[in-house]
Amino acid sequence: MLKRLSFIFVYCLLICSINAQTQSKQSDYCKSVVSPKYDEKIIKTTAVLFFPPEGEAMNEPNHASVFFYKSGCNNKDYFAMAEFSQTKDWDFVNNLATSNSKPNQPTMVQLEFKGKLSMSFIRSFGQYAWLRAEITVNKINSAKVVEYSLPDFDVKAPMIEAGEFVVNFNANFMISFYGRGLSKIQLEDILTSNSKITINKQKISKKEFFNYSENDRGGTIGVRIRNVKKNNNAWRIQGEITHILKDKPPIIRKYDNKYLVDSNNSIRLIYSKIE
């Protein structure tokens, strides 16, 4: 009898545990889409899907994309590209929007759904990479056409703007290794006594770096970004820098840079590693 009770108890614990794991909590869309803890996680939420007017020019990516948004956080920091390749529900949602569309007007469909949220601190998703988040929908629980406030394409998007500022600064800093990019005054501002610069694992001094930055080596310089991470006011950017000279094979080096950026967009270099 005891063995049977023990079996039932363990069985109940197992089933309860499985049920608890499969019942995901409803997430607030506005909080989830800007929180790194939800990156690459499955969320269950409610948001409005924007369908552009039929025939909208594709050279205007803002208006020619299907994306999620909500009125409570209505700027591009919170817009998320909608990806439906992992669900069979797209035809239903698309037909719902099409059958309720009006000439020269967008259509809004409110969805309650589950999907995988992917995000970045720079523009990375959508045609022409104009947004910083994407949701791959895998299940739709409900859908209805709604009258809703339009997405605000013009209001400031602080996260995207901050990312663009740091990325552009990083590109100019990398180009400075080849004699162009930031001015000496700008370099003096970002290089502190604690800044560390290494090239091929060899530490170089501030004076040696200025020698690099004052010697224009000619050719074409390309800076590519592979990864951007942010933790509070610390930004880490990784990628490659390419130096192309005429009639010579390109020289490609990997870089790993970390900066501190304050609220006034003042930047300090923590380290720069080039290999």
**Cα angle at 187 between 182 and 189, to 5 degrees?**
130
**pLDDT value for 4:** 44
Residue 267 vs residues 48, 157, 225: alpha-carbon distances, Å: 37, 20, 18
DSSP assignment letter at 55: T
Q: Output the pLDDT for position 258.
A: 98
Residue with tokens 């197992």: 14
For range 210-234, the mean pLDDT: 88
Question: What is the pLDDT, as a whole number, of residue 64?
Answer: 58
Burial class (CB in 10 A: 0-12, 13-18, 19+), 271: middle
The Cα diameter of the chain in Å comes to 86
Mean pLDDT of 88-99: 93
Say if CB 127 and CB 61 are below 8 A apart: yes
Degrees to nearest 5, angle at CA 157 with 151 and 160: 120
Q: Tokens for 63, please give them.
A: 């208006």
Mean pLDDT, range 46-72, rounded to an integer: 78
Q: Which domains does the chain have, with CATH numbers?
A: 26-146 (2.40.50), 158-274 (3.10.450.50)
What is the average per-residue pLDDT within 164-181?
Answer: 91
**Matching residue, tokens 């523009």:** 123
Q: DSSP assignment of 180-234, as one string? A: -SS-HHHHHHH--TT-EEEETTEEE-HHHHHHHHTS---SEEEEEEEEEEEETTE
Q: Phi then psi for 214, rounded to 5 degrees? A: -95, 0
pLDDT band at residue 235 under the 50/70/90 scheme: very high
pLDDT at 112 over 90: yes
Residue that wins the pLDDT comparison between 4 and 159:
159
The beta strand positions in 33-187, using DSSP E, are 41-51, 67-69, 80-83, 107-119, 133-146
Please give the Cα distance from 249 to 242 (Å, whole number): 10
d(CA 167, CA 171): 6
In terms of Cβ atoms closer than 10 Å to its own Cβ (0-12, 13-18, 19+), residue 231 is: exposed
What is the rounded CA–CA span in Å between residue 48 and residue 67?
Answer: 8
The answer, yes or no, to whether residue 217 has pLDDT greater than 90, is no
Task: Report pLDDT digits (tens) over 115-129.
Answer: 999 999 899 998 778
131 secondary structure, DSSP code: B
